[in-house]
Amino acid sequence: MPSEELTTVSKVALLRQRIADARRLGVRIRSEWLGGETGGGCEIGGTRWIFLDLSLSVEEQLGQLSDALAMFRLEEPSKL
């Protein structure tokens, strides 16, 4: 298997792990095809949500997830 595929597989595994970690922290995750228009974190009715844009690369989705988690940490560090 070429090294590029291993790198992609590793990135997908990392994304899955970070999604699982976020869920354990009580964050709801939605993966939707958003066409590169939006994505990120928000709070709706007291529930924290992260919307991941499936039209983006795995690297970009990791960035969306990391940015949203960082935003939540800044808002309330004791929860995350």
The reported pLDDT for the residue numbered 23 is 95
Mean pLDDT calculated for residue range 45-63: 96
The reported pLDDT for the residue numbered 80 is 47
Mean pLDDT calculated for residue range 8-26: 94
Burial (Cβ within 10 Å: 0-12, 13-18, ≥19) of residue 14: middle
Contact between 30 and 49 under an 8 Å Cβ cutoff? The reply is yes
Q: Which domain holds residue 59?
A: 3-75
Domains in the chain: how many in total? 1
Kindly report whether the global pTM for this prediction surpasses the value 0.85.
no
Mean pLDDT calculated for residue range 30-46: 93
Mean pLDDT calculated for residue range 55-77: 87
The reported pLDDT for the residue numbered 8 is 85
Specify if 80 maps to a domain.
Answer: no
